[in-house]
C-alpha cells in the first residue's frame, strides 16, 4: 500500500509522544513492505528534497518550518504522489486542512491520528472541522476516543489502536535487584507522586524499596517531600533513564504503581505489566491506565493513598514474575497490522478498491 504521512513537526525538532507515534507507525509500515513517504519540513542539510531512512522516504515540503508555505505546497505534492491513503495529525489545524485538500486531489481517504495531548484552538467550529474532515480518526485509548466523539466525531469514524511495545526485547535484559515498587512518569504537575509517597509512608514498618523513574520541574519538590515523610532512605529517584534500564527495573520490581493525573495511553504501565509487574492503578478521570487492567487478574484499582498502600501489601500474594506472555498481543508487529486494515476500510468507504 502507498501511504503518505504528513507532519509539520517531527521528532528531530520536537520529540513528543505524539510525534514519536506517527514516525514509529511510518517505520513499522515500511517494515511491513508498504511504500511509505513522510511529508515534513526538510531537516537534513543538503540540497536534495528527499531522504531515505530505514525504508521511509522523508519528503521535504519546505526548507524551513513556515506553516503557511507548508500548507500551500502540500496539496500539490500529495496530488502528484498519488497515495492510497493520507495520514496526518490534528495539529496544527492548518496541517489538517492542507492534507484534506491534498487527499481530495489525490482521490485518497484522509486518516487523522489523534493522540490526546494536542493543544487545539478554543474555537468550537475549528475543533469540529478537525474531527469531521477526516474519513477516519485513530486514537490510542477509549478515553481519547470519547473526547473526540464529544468534539463532534461520528462514532463509526473513530478507531482505537493502542500503543505498542517490543515484547521480545524484555527477555534480553537482566532483572534489577533490590526493587519492590516501581513508578515512571515525567515529574511534572500531572505526576501525582504525592499519593504514592503517602501510601508508601503508611508502610514504614514494612521492608520495601521503591524506584521513581522520570525527571522534570517537580523532581526537587518530590525529593523534599520524600525526605519530609522520612522514607528517603528507601525511595530512589533515578531520572529519565533509557529503555534498557527501565526494563531492568520493571523485571526486578514486584509491583508498578500508576498514579498520574493524565495519561492518553499508559505506555510505561504496559511495559511494566509485560515485564511481570503487578499493576496498582489509582483511578483518574483524565487517565486511560485503568483500561489496560480491567480484566487482568494481577492488578488492583484504587482511589486513595490508603487503598494504594493496602494494594501494595496484597500484591505480595502474587508470585514474582519477570515477564507475562499475555501482553505480547501489544507487540509492535501485531499492533501495526491494524493500520492497513483501517486504510482498506477507508478506501472501501471512499469507493476505491
Residues 231 and 120 reside in one and the same domain: no
- Residue 31 sits at the vertex; the CA angle it makes with 29 and 36, to the nearest 5 degrees, is 45
Query: Using CA atoms, how far apart are residues 338 and 28, in angstroms rounded to an integer?
Result: 12
Distance CA 289, CA 273 (A): 12
Q: Could you tell me if 231 and 319 lie in one domain?
A: yes
Spatial contact of 288 and 281, defined as CB atoms under 8 Å apart: no
CA distance 210 to 181: 5
The pLDDT value recorded for residue 309 is 98
| 353 — pLDDT class (breaks 50, 70, 90) | low
The total number of structural domains in the chain stands at: 2
Copy the grid coordinates of residue 5: 504521512
Residues 253 and 174 in one domain: yes
Nearest one of 103, 15, 19, 111 to 341, comparing CA atoms: 111
Q: Which domain holds residue 341?
A: 2-164+332-349
Segment 4-18 shows an average pLDDT of 91
Angle between helices 93-106 and 124-132 (to 10 degrees): 30
pLDDT at 340 over 60: yes
Check whether 75 has a pLDDT greater than 90.
yes
- How distant is the alpha carbon of residue 235 from its chain centre? 27
Same domain, 115 and 203: no
Residues 250 and 199 in one domain: yes
C-beta of residue 291 within 8 angstroms of C-beta of residue 218: no
Residues ≥6 apart with Cβ < 8 Å to 208: 180, 181, 200, 234, 312
86-95 per-position pLDDT tens digit: 999 998 889 9
Cell numbers of 335, please?
499492533
Rounded average pLDDT over 186-206: 96
Domain identity same for 336 and 311: no
Q: Is it the case that residue 350 has pLDDT exceeding 80? A: no
Residue 37 pLDDT = 98
Together in a domain, 143 and 192: no
Same domain as 184, residue 132: no
CB-based contact 208:313 (threshold 8 Å): no
For residues 243 and 160, membership in a common domain is answered with no
Regarding whether 221 and 345 lie in a shared domain, the answer is: no
Distance in angstroms (rounded) separating the CA atoms of residues 129 and 101:
13
Band (pLDDT 50/70/90 cuts) for residue 295 is very high
Q: Answer yes or no: is pLDDT of 145 > 70.
A: yes
> What is the rounded average pLDDT for all residues in the chain?
94
Q: Quick check: 314 and 300 in contact, CB under 8 A?
A: yes
User: Does the CA dihedral 55-56-59-64 come out positive or negative?
Assistant: negative
**How far apart are the C-alpha atoms of 6 and 68, rounded to whole Å?**
15
Phi, psi (5° rounding) for residue 53?
Answer: -130, 110
> Which 3 state secondary structure label does DSSP give 39?
strand
**Residue range 231-258: average pLDDT?**
97
Q: Where does the pLDDT of residue 46 fall: very low under 50, low under 70, confident under 90, or very high at 90 and above? A: confident
Question: What confidence score (pLDDT) does residue 47 get?
Answer: 82
pLDDT, position 191: 97
- 23 is written with which cell numbers? 514516525
Residue with cell 535487584: 177
For the segment 315-334, what is each residue's pLDDT rounded down to a tens digit?
A: 999 999 999 999 999 999 99
Yes or no: say if 164 and 194 are a contact pair by the CB < 8 Å rule. Answer: no
Same domain, 231 and 317: yes
**Can you tell me the mean pLDDT for 186-204?**
96
339 CB-contact burial (10 Å; exposed 0-12 / middle 13-18 / buried 19+):
buried
Please say whether the beta carbons of 265 and 287 come within 8 A: no
Residue ranges of alpha helices (H) inside 45-106 are 67-81, 93-106
- Residues 153, 177 within the same domain: no
- Quote helix, strand, coil % in the chain, to nearest 5: 40, 20, 40
Residue pLDDT, tens place only, 110-133: 999 999 988 766 655 667 778 888
* CATH number for position 91: 3.40.50.2000
Amino acid at each position: 500500500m502507498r501511504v503518505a504521512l504528513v507532519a509539520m513537526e517531527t521528532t528531530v525538532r520536537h520529540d513528543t509522544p505524539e510525534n514519536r507515534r506517527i514516525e514509529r507507525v511510518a517505520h513499522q509500515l515500511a517494515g511491513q513492505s508498504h511504500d511509505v513517504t513522510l511529508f515534513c519540513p526538510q531537516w537534513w542539510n543538503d540540497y536534495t528534497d528527499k531522504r531515505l531512512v530505514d525504508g521511509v522516504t522523508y519528503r521535504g515540503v519546505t526548507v524551513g518550518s513556515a506553516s503557511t508555505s507548508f500548507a500551500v505546497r502540500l496539496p500539490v505534492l500529495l496530488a502528484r504522489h498519488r497515495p492510497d491513503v493520507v495520514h496526518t495529525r490534528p495539529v496544527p489545524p492548518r496541517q489538517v486542512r492542507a492534507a484534506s485538500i491534498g487527499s481530495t486531489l489525490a482521490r485518497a481517504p484522509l486518516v487523522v491520528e489523534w493522540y490526546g495531548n494536542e493543544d487545539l484552538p478554543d474555537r468550537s467550529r475549528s475543533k469540529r472541522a478537525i474531527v469531521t474532515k477526516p474519513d477516519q480518526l485513530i486514537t490510542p485509548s477509549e478515553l481519547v476516543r470519547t473526547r473526540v466523539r464529544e468534539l463532534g466525531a461520528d462514532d463509526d469514524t473513530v478507531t482505537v489502536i493502542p500503543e505498542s511495545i517490543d515484547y521480545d526485547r524484555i527477555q534480553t535484559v537482566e532483572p534489577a535487584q533490590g526493587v519492590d515498587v516501581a513508578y515512571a512518569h515525567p515529574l511534572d504537575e500531572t505526576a501525582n507522586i504525592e499519593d504514592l509517597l503517602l501510601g508508601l509512608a503508611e508502610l514504614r514498618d514494612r521492608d520495601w524499596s521503591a524506584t521513581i523513574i522520570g525527571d522534570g520541574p517537580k523532581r526537587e519538590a518530590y525529593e523534599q517531600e520524600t525526605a519530609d515523610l522520612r522514607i528517603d532512605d528507601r525511595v530512589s529517584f533515578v531520572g529519565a533513564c533509557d529503555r534498557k534500564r527501565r526494563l531492568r527495573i520493571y523485571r526486578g520490581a514486584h509491583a508498578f504503581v500508576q498514579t498520574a493525573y493524565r495519561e492518553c495511553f499508559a505506555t510505561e504501565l504496559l511495559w511494566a505489566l509485560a515485564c511481570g509487574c503487578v499493576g496498582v492503578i489509582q483511578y483518574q478521570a483524565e487517565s486511560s491506565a485503568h483500561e489496560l487492567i480491567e480484566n487482568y487478574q494481577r492488578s488492583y484499582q484504587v482511589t486513595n493513598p490508603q487503598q494504594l498502600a493496602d494494594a501494595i501489601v496484597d500484591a505480595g500474594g502474587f508470585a514474582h514474575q519477570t515477564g507475562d506472555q499475555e501482553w505480547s498481543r501489544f507487540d509492535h508487529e501485531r499492533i501495526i497490522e491494524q493500520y492497513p486494515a483501517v486504510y482498506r476500510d477507508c478506501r472501501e468507504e471512499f469507493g476505491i478498491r
